[in-house]
Amino acid sequence: MASYLYKLGRFAFRRRHFVALLWVALLTLAGVGAASAPPAGNSSFSIPGTEAQRAFDLLEQRFPGMSADGATARVVFKAPEGQKMTDAGNKAAVEKTVKELGSGSEVASVADPYTGKAVSRDGTIAYASVKYKVSGMELEDSSRDALKESAAHARDAGLSVEIGGDALTAAPETGSSEVIGIAIAAVVLVITFGSLIAAGLPLLTAIIGVGIGVSAITALATPLDLGSTTSTLATMIGLAVGIDYALFIVSRYRAELAEGRDREEAAGRAVGTAGSAVVFAGLTVVIALVGLSVVNIPMLTKMGVAAAGTVAIAVLIALTMIPALLGYAGRTVKPAGEKSRLLGGGRAAKKAGRPNMGTRWASFVVRRPVTVLLLGVVGLGAAAVPAASLELGLPDDGSQPVSTTQRRAYDLLSDGFGPGFNGPLMVVVDAKGSADKKAAFAKVGDEIKGLKDVVTVTPPAPNKAGDTAIITVVPKSQPSSATTEDLVHAIRGKSASIASATDAKLLVTGATAMNIDVSQKLNDALLPYLALVVGLAFLLLIVVFRSILVPLKAALGFLLSVLAALGAVVAVFQWGWLSGLMNVEQTGPVMSMMPIFMVGVVFGLAMDYEVFLVTRMREAYVHGENPGQAVVTGFRYSARVVTAAAVIMIAVFSGFIGSSEAMIKMIGFGLAIAVFFDAFIVRMAVVPAVLALLGRRAWWLPAWLDRALPNVDVEGEGLRTDSDPDGDRELVSA
């Protein structure tokens, strides 16, 4: 592989005009496709294989036009101090608002609070329920705007009005976070390379790659049913790996220049060596993202595949456009150790002197491997302790900041009608096979009334055919509580006895039940997903490193860093440690998608650092250095750029901690702390300590397996035998 990529790098350097025009043409084509594509709403949402989804599907068949999984909104009204919602003026304002709410094209129905008994006992709070024809993920922005405008008109009449429900759910805007991340990345790259031109190349290629990927997603959004969250994930991951991959190739190019090679040769060797690591690092990220399909949530699968496509584009750009741009840059990109005249006065590289920090640190670890290993493992183990108390769930309006209208509506409904009113359960009774359908409906209602933690059970509401009915159950506790989850399981536990007595089927659905089912589905998928991703990457790393113990160490180190990161998330967002510093207003269960999402994203980035750092060690070992010296050599050339890449990633993810959305805040913190643990403790401390202790055994591979594996030559050994290492060199002057 190294020889092929070496030729590709030299070709891109020589034919830079062709390569640059090709990528510009692809960017233009994708941009035109995105601009001409019809505007797409949010993607549809379904959870195959869950009881809640089966109930929704049944309702679609038996209650046509009901839009059982359609978005809902509750417009909550509170009368001014000393007044009642039943006062004539207040009642007129509410009725006018209800009329406005029902005029939307996507609105299925609006329930008047005065005819639907939706006024609190003390008469101070009332709500109007709005049902939409499409789900909250598919709702158009115009419908959300109309909902907000209707509430504003009621406020003008003197009422306090707040809006809750999933109709206001929209993809959070993260543009400012991305800009902050790019700005910090630019600063780190300038410090790393000491040159504005060299620092600009990774940023330029990463932005082009993300532009192509996101434009393609936008162009295909309608036919493939891709939502806005898909492009958000693709942007975040594509930007991260795009900068990383270009950073490593530019760094290796400067190192080759420092050894005296001419620029075309340096570009070829940079792509042949660092480019090989880029290919395999990219493959690990793609495996992690595509592997999300094992969860069997279509939206998550599409997000993973789209982000994987953006990563593949980032790899191709790093291998081709970076050497092309290096050809354009010419002598403005200095050899390693030199800085531009603007930043460093054009001083020449130091030929000898004090070893760099990476060399000094690696030398210390090689001398004290047991101490470093114990400190690293014990520290991460201590951070992972809170993960044993991990509680998973999906956020609802009760987890929103108190400054949001959703949270204020949630609190008003809790005050007026009880906490369980914010998460009613929808019980669907399928009595098609029952001899006495009405008796079956009544039996189910009576059974549910006998359960504890139930406040209200509405009378059965049958369909026109009379073979299916809906019963609404209001729990005592709030939707995200363990008590409500236990109630859902208790109702479902009655299905066997109901079927035996009446031949009717009982299904529980609704937003609360759907959240419980999604959490369970994600929990059940975590171990299979982890086994698939880690297993495939383990096999891939065996091919890369030609070793059994190095890939095993990489996988175990990753698991340790993820557990430590989950422990930190639990401590902050569930226990409330440092919640004031992180501006966490409401503690509670950790988002159920967090563990599997963290595994997928962090695994890909962690293996990036593993491949880039350890392949340099492997390269030195293959070229004759002893194991301890190979560790030091790997750090001498790679520690600086791995550190820079990790700092960039931490900065990008940390930008999301400032989000007002609890979910985005949690994702930002979790990914940032996970990258910190993995890059600076696992890869920079645990990995060299383990390799120093293993010595030559680290690179052991059974002879039969060595013969069976393909020789991908990530270390570039073929470049030393296929070409004269000295014949094509020329000293590079400043």
Asked if 670 contacts 569 with a C-beta cutoff of 8 angstroms, the reply is: yes
Contact 27, 40 (CB under 8 A): no
**Residue owning tokens 């109709």:** 167
pLDDT at 716: 59
Terminal Cα distance for the chain, rounded = 32
The pLDDT mean for the chain works out to 81
Confidence at residue 370, expressed as pLDDT on a 0 to 100 scale: 93
What is the distance of C-alpha 112 from the center of its chain?
40
- Running DSSP on this structure, what letter comes out for residue 372? H
Tokens read off for 580: 């004031």
b/e 227-243 (16+ beta carbons within 10 angstroms → b): bbbbbbbbbbbbbbbbb
Pairing of strands 590-591, 392-393: parallel
pLDDT the model gives residue 586: 67
The three state secondary structure string of 234-277 is: HHHHHHHHHHHHHHHHHHHHHHHHHCCECHHHHHHHHHHHHHHH
Cα-Cα-Cα-Cα dihedral of 224, 226, 231, 237, to 10°? Answer: -70
Host H or E run for residue 7: helix 2-14
Which band of pLDDT confidence, cut at 50, 70 and 90, is reported for residue 436? confident
Q: What is the pLDDT of residue 721?
A: 52
Q: Is the pLDDT assigned to residue 634 strictly greater than 60? A: yes
Stretch 601-609: mean pLDDT: 76
Beta strands in 383-476 (DSSP E): 392-393, 425-430, 454-457, 461-462, 468-475
Q: Could you identify the residue written with the tokens 């750092």?
A: 613
| Model confidence pLDDT, tens digit, residues 67-88 | 656 778 888 999 988 889 888 8
- Burial class, 510, CB count within 10 angstroms (exposed 0-12 / middle 13-18 / buried 19+): buried
590-591 vs 72-78, strand pairing mode? unpaired
pLDDT 10s digits, 377-430:
999 999 999 988 887 777 677 767 777 788 888 888 888 888 888 888 989 999
pLDDT digits 0-9 by tens, 148-193? 888 888 888 888 999 887 777 654 454 455 567 677 777 887 877 7
Cα angle 68, 167, 97; round to 5:
100
More confident site: 608 or 524 = 524
For residue 516, which of 7, 84, 81, 47 has the smallest C-alpha distance? Answer: 47
Model pLDDT, residue 18: 94
Alpha-carbon span 72 to 696, nearest angstrom: 63
Asked if residue 597 has pLDDT above 80, the reply is no
Question: Within 10 A of 482 (CB to CB), how many other CB atoms are there?
Answer: 11
Q: Which region holds residue 346: left if phi is over 0, alpha if psi is between -120 and 50, else beta?
A: left
CA angle 478, 479, 481 (to 5 degrees): 70
How far apart CA 713 and CA 701 sit, in angstroms, is 15
**pLDDT for residue 560 is more than 50:** yes
Q: What is the mean pLDDT of residues 88-95?
A: 88
Note whether 304 and 600 are within 8 A (CB). yes
CA count, 13 A, side-chain hemisphere, 516: 24
> What is the DSSP annotation of 500-551?
HHHS-EEEEESHHHHHHHHHHHHHHHHHHHHHHHHHHHHHHHHHHH--SHHH
Q: Which has the closest alpha carbon to 427: 46, 50, 52, 47?
A: 52
pLDDT reported for residue 717: 58
- pTM of the shown model: 0.76
d(CA 296, CA 522): 9
Top pLDDT among 592 and 83 is at 83
Strand partners, 729: 261
pLDDT band at 730 (very low <50, low <70, confident <90, very high): very low
The one-letter amino acid at 276: S
Q: How far apart are CA 696 and CA 627, in angstroms?
A: 6
The model's pLDDT over 438-493, given as tens digits with 9 standing for 90+, comes to 888 888 888 898 888 888 888 888 888 888 999 889 898 888 778 888 899 999 99
- Residues near 62 by beta carbon (within 8 Å), at least 6 away in sequence: 430, 463, 465, 467, 468
Average pLDDT over residues 638-650: 82
What does the pLDDT read at residue 727? 40
Per residue in 6-55, pLDDT (tens digit) is 889 899 989 999 999 999 999 999 888 888 876 555 555 667 778 888 88
What's the pLDDT tens digit per position in 264-306?
A: 888 888 888 888 878 887 888 888 888 888 888 887 788 888 8
Q: What is the DSSP letter of 570?
A: I
Position 728 scores a pLDDT of: 40
Burial 51-86 (b: 16+ CB within 10 A, else e): bbbbbbbbbeebbeebbbbbbbbbbbbbbeeeebbe
Distance CA 660, CA 231 (A): 20
